[in-house]
A = this chain, B = another copy of it.
Amino acid sequence: MTVPMQLARIIISEISDNQVIYLKEVDGERQFPIVIGICEAKSIDRRVKDEARPPRPLTHDLVVSIAESLGAEIDSVIISDLRDQTYFAQLRLRKDGEVFDIDSRPSDAIAVAVTFQPFLPIYVSEEVLEQATPKDGAA
């Protein structure tokens, strides 16, 4: 089972190599942080702030235009796994009724999701969400 999430916060620190984004449940209160790189954080931030599009495609636009030029559409982002404190994700593509899940870092997948208006849906597996949001004092 997967849970719809939304991008709740982006925290960019110019003095750190690691930046943080927070994903929060669309229909709930659980949220968790993902540590990402500065390049992907800036790419996400630029789109969330809806800055003017530069005349040439940026990196994550290129991902979208390659998929679309080959007749596919990018459908959604799925954060499917958490191992050794590292999240694993897929970009879900559809073409001619077929589904293709492409391995991606969550940061790239979310940077692609926010190139769309509205943003593409972001899902997290219930299992990952439980691991990422442990309950204090669980019996």
Contacts and interface: CB of A to CB of B under 8 A. Distances in A.
Interface of A: 38-40, 42, 55-60, 62-63, 65-67, 69-72, 86, 88, 91, 93, 95, 100, 102-105, 108
B69 A108 contact: no
A70 B95 contact: yes
Top 7 A-B residue pairs of the complex, sorted by shortest distance between their CB atoms: A39-B39, A70-B70, A56-B105, A69-B100, A59-B108, A62-B104, A62-B108
Nearest to A95: B70
Given A57-B103, A62-B91, A63-B63, 16 more contacts: A38-B39, A40-B59, A56-B104, A56-B105, A57-B104, A57-B105, A57-B108, A58-B105, A59-B59, A59-B60, A59-B108, A62-B108, A65-B103, A66-B67, A69-B100, A69-B102
